[in-house]
Structure 1
Amino acid sequence: MRDDASLTWQPAEGHGAGVVYAVDGPLGRVRLDRPRAINALDRPAVDSLLHQLRAWADDDRIEAVVLDGAGERGLCAGGDVRALREAILAGREQEALDYWEAEYAVDALVATYPKPYVAWMDGIVMGGGVGISAHGSVRLVTERTQLAMPEVVIGFFPDVAGLHPLSRAPGETGTHVALTGAPVGGTDAVLLGMADALVPSQAEDEVLAALREDPTRDAQALAALASAPGGTATAQASWLEQQRSWIDECYVGDDAGEILRRLREHPEPAAQGAAELVGSRSPHSVAVTLEALRRAASMTVEEVLAQDLRLGPVFASHPDFAEGVRAQLVDKDRQPRWQHASLADVTRAEVLAAFGT
């Protein structure tokens, strides 16, 4: 139970109620407050975050910022892609492009924030939720965390600079996460470089008390204070680390079709399961995502966000995005009809064209 009922939570002045804020001693508290939508980020929420985070960056009263999400399901399910699909289908593609530009501006601000930025990444943390948390300076996950960049499921690509940590993850673990869109737990989020430490989900009040006392405490110090020996948050093994033998073997290289072939032919059942996932995703999305991931390995966060912004119009105009959102979130029949029948049908020229080359 969160011990914050005494705080005065309010929207940013002139902005909607989808994000609320409170001053908690030296802490600027940020709470995503659309629990029925698992705190999905619509345009008003993005604009509110950009406004308030900029204000607090220059506010001497605020020594650190702490982000969490309302409700029991998680921090954030991602961007409001249903609204983006509706805008695109109505011929208002520029609305989607403007949304992504604003969203990526928030992500860039988080990545360069001049004060400690603490993200409480409990429960579901997906897509846009990763962008406003995983680029922070103190990133705490729990035994309940389910983190994912699931964009290939809806005919999009892992944006919000999520490819920056994924391209630097051990071996090919980041490639597996990007191409399958499958969620991982807290321990694997740390392995991937998208979080710093695992703490018990019931320890948020302890973490906040420690930060009020010393807003500069890092993730390891907070984890040491919050985690009891043998607690649930410290007992998780890394699934990705356990699967490294086939992951590193199958996902190497720049040819998505070859990666899928290796996965299908590998004797390990988990590899064959991954093949089913990759094979069911948008072929265009998987092929472009792999190229974007490889390019991201030599980029800064800001450069990856610039790459994301260049790719946005490509995906907004590609039929797989509207179709993927329809199948997954609108009609929910989970039967998308992708433009390409298979990865083999996506040409190298199509992939390079997405990058303007």
Structure 2
Amino acid sequence: MGRETFTGDVAFEVRGHLGIITLNRPKSLNSLTGLMCDSIRVQLEDWADDPAVAQVLIRGAGDRGLCAGGDVASVYREMVELQDQDGGGSLPDGRPEYRANFTAEGFFASEYGMNQYIARYSKPYIALMDGVVLGGGVGVSAHGSHRIVTERSRIGMPETTIGFSPDVGGTYLLGRAPGQLGVHAGLTGVHLSAADAIHLGLADSLIASDSIDALIHELTVEDVERVLPEFLREPEPSALEGAEWVNEAYSQESVVEVLRVLDDLGERVPEAAETARTLRTKSPTMVRVAFRAIRGARELGLEGALSQEYTIAVHALRSHDFREGIRAQLIDKDRSPSWSPSSLEAVDEELVDHYFTPVPSKILTFS
């Protein structure tokens, strides 16, 4: 008989020697709250010291997927309330000074701390990346030791769609994808198939979705290294493998140049033309921020990338585009955001630099 407890919207259970985390908000596709992140971290710490738990598995409740990301609707409500009150200003050296403390800043700090803890977890951490796995869902899964996808997996970092930049260590993961594929995935927010995710290094193994229950049962009595090979399937070739147009376009030194090359390639490569159209619908500011962040993360470890992402998040909370992007996609759902500036060409380097300028009282560190 398993031991089961509930903390907010997360279920924790021990079956045999397997600790099971179930994200339990199926109506919102298991979107993450700050309490969920805190609860997962605390439970992982407890299980790390529990000799009865040999390995941990995370899954999503319902049949739609693991997790659609963070609960940004609540972030929007706070931005509406506090953005106009914050005022801001700058320190003598030109760095920004923000006076209001957003609750969302604590949420991001908690979430990123959880991501870092998962990445260095002392026991096997098995992520069932079945169905939809977006944004924060990538954060609770792709840093694990055993990342399992199915034929139903749809994985992505769609942050530029809502006026934000890939986070939860996403810049670190995308920066290490083959060639320029991670930059492409991060800027466009394209949904990746199981084969794509494996090719980009966001997942490791493919199993059939109808074998998930059997796999979990076996994991309650056997170690993952012994059990998993019995369930593995050979993935199809990734549609992005050998996509030289991606490398040609995204190897440019600016996003404006990337778009120019995509337009040129689009005359003979339909995928390039579609990508150019997609990029023009995203927040121009955050496309340029994400471009720099993903490339810069290639020179950073995970903790450095998360700290950089936190600095970006602190600024994004006070931006026009993050608020407008959430409104258009999730609140009013008109899918017609009014970005400011409205084009990639109109975004100057000073604005991009702003997002990478740490705020002295709001710097993410790890213990």
TM-score by length of 1: 0.92
The answer as to whether partners of 1:125 and 1:146 remain within 8 angstroms in 2 is yes
Tell me which residue corresponds to 1:152: 160
Equivalences for residues 179-328 of structure 1 within 5 A = 179-217=187-225, 222=228, 224-227=229-232, 234=234, 236-242=236-242, 244-266=243-265, 267-328=268-329
Q: What is the RMSD computed on CA atoms of the aligned residues? A: 1.5
5+ residue gaps, structure 1, are 1-5, 228-232
Residues in 2 aligned to 1:352 and 1:235: alpha-carbon distance in whole angstroms: 41
Tell me which residue corresponds to 2:365: none
Tell me which residue corresponds to 2:353: 352
Q: Offset at 1:181?
A: 0.7
Aligned: 1:61 with 2:56: no
Q: Offset at 1:133?
A: 0.4
Which piece of structure 1 moves more, 151-160 or 207-216?
Answer: 207-216
Tell me which residue corresponds to 1:101: 109
Which piece of structure 1 moves more, 320-329 or 263-272?
Answer: 263-272
Residues in 1 aligned to 2:214 and 2:185: alpha-carbon distance in whole angstroms: 31
Residues in 2 aligned to 1:215 and 1:67: alpha-carbon distance in whole angstroms: 15
Q: Tell me the alpha carbon deviations over residues 11-30 of structure 1, each in whole angstroms, 9 at most, x when there is no partner.
A: 1xxx31x1001101111010
What secondary structure does 1:89 align onto?
helix
Residues in 2 aligned to 1:339 and 1:90: alpha-carbon distance in whole angstroms: 20
Q: Tell me the alpha carbon deviations over residues 239-297 of structure 1, each in whole angstroms, 9 at most, x when there is no partner.
A: 1114x111111111330111111112212111000011111100000000000011100
Q: Which runs of 4+ in 1 moved over 6 A?
A: none
Equivalences for residues 135-146 of structure 1 within 5 A = 135-146=143-154
Q: Offset at 1:216?
A: 4.5
Tell me which residue corresponds to 1:31: 22
The answer as to whether partners of 1:254 and 1:291 remain within 8 angstroms in 2 is no
Aligned: 1:90 with 2:81: yes
What secondary structure does 1:239 align onto?
coil
The answer as to whether partners of 1:254 and 1:290 remain within 8 angstroms in 2 is no
What secondary structure does 2:225 align onto?
coil
Cα distance 1:177–1:202, how it changes in 2: closer, same or farther (>3 A)?
same
What secondary structure does 2:240 align onto?
helix
Residues in 1 aligned to 2:224 and 2:132: alpha-carbon distance in whole angstroms: 26
Residues in 2 aligned to 1:322 and 1:215: alpha-carbon distance in whole angstroms: 45
Match for 2:275: what amino acid? A
Cα distance 1:293–1:8, how it changes in 2: closer, same or farther (>3 A)?
same
Residues in 2 aligned to 1:350 and 1:264: alpha-carbon distance in whole angstroms: 25
5+ residue gaps, structure 2, are 83-99, 359-367
Q: Offset at 1:206?
A: 2.9
Residues in 2 aligned to 1:42 and 1:88: alpha-carbon distance in whole angstroms: 16
Tell me which residue corresponds to 1:52: 43
What secondary structure does 2:220 align onto?
helix
Match for 2:248: what amino acid? E
Aligned length: 339
Q: Offset at 1:54?
A: 1.3
The answer as to whether partners of 1:121 and 1:139 remain within 8 angstroms in 2 is yes
Q: Offset at 1:7?
A: 4.3
Match for 1:179: what amino acid? L
